[in-house]
Structure 1
C-alpha cells in the first residue's frame, strides 16, 4: 500500500492540506511558551493581580491549545482513513485484475506462513498501480 504512487500522492495531498493548521498549532505552542517564560522570569516583580491574570491566561491558553490539538488529530485521522479507504478500493481492484490476467487461483493478504517468489504478485500489483497513476 505505502509503495503505490497513489498512496504517496495521497500522503502529499494530506500533508499539504493540514500543513497550515499544523503551523498554526506550532505558533500557538510558541505563544504559550513565551507566556510561561514571562511568568517564570517576571513573577517575582509582578503585582499579585498581574501574576494571577497571567496564570489564568496560561491555563486558558493550554486548554485552548489542547482542544485545538485534539481536533487537529481527529480531523487528520478521519481524513487519512477516508483517503485510505479509496486507495484500498483501487488496490483491491488492481489485485483482482493482475490475478485474473496472470491466472492466479487464490490471492491471500495475510495468514501465509511461506510462499515462494513465483506466487508473490506484490511487484506486479505495484507495477499495475504505477502504470495506472502514470496514465492519469
Structure 2
C-alpha cells in the first residue's frame, strides 16, 4: 500500500510542472476596483451628494455644542449655567443619535452602491476569463506575482 502512495505522489510531482504550464491564472485587486473604477467613483459622488445635507446638519450641531461649551467657560449666573448645561447635554445626546443613524445609513447605502460595482466587475472578470481562457482568477491573496494581475484590464472594461 505504501508503495502505491509513493508512486502516486511521485507521478503527481512529475506531472505538476506540465499541469501548471497548461493552467492559466489571474488576479484582480478588488480594492483598486473600488477606488479607481469609474462606476465606483460615480457611486462615491452619488453618496456624497445624498448625505451632504445630513453631514452639514451634524457639523452645525457640533459648532453649536462648541459655542455652548465656550459660553460655559465664561462667568455667568447659576440659572443661566444650568440652562446652558441642559441644552448642551440635550444637544450632545441628539448629536450622538444622529451621528449613529448617519453612519448606519451611509454604510448601508455604500454597501448597496458598491454591491452593484462588484457585480459589474465580476461580470467583466468572467468575460475576460472566458475570452482569454483563464482557468482561475482570484480576488484575495496574500501575495501574487504582478504579471498575473488583470486589474488594469478590468478597470479598462469598467470605463466603457
TM bucket normalised to smaller: 0.7 to 0.9
**1:124 Cα deviation after fit:** 1.1
**Runs (5+) with no aligned partner, structure 2:** 1-32
1:64-84 deviation line (CA, Å, top 9, x unaligned) = 111111111111111101111
Higher RCO structure, 1 or 2 (CA under 8 Å, sep 6+): 2
SS of 2:141's partner is coil
The 1:34/1:116 distance shift into structure 2, 3 A limit, reads closer
Write the mapping of 1:77-96 to structure 2, written as runs, cut at 5 A. 77-96=107-126
TM-score normalized with structure 1 length: 0.86
1:38 aligns with 2:71: yes
Larger Rg: 2
Partners of 1:98 and 1:128 within 8 A in 2: no
Structure 1 portions without partners, runs of 5+: 132-136
Q: Per-residue displacement from partner, 1:23-66 (whole Å, max 9, x unpaired)?
A: 111011111111111111133xx1x2222111111111111111
Q: Which of 66, 88, 94 is equivalent to 1:58? A: 88
Conserved? CA contact 1:94–1:129, under 8 Å: yes
TM-score for the superposition, normalised by structure 2: 0.74
Which runs of at least 4 in structure 1 moved beyond 4 Å after TM superposition? none
RMSD after superposition? 1.4
Match of 2:141 among 111, 128, 136: 111
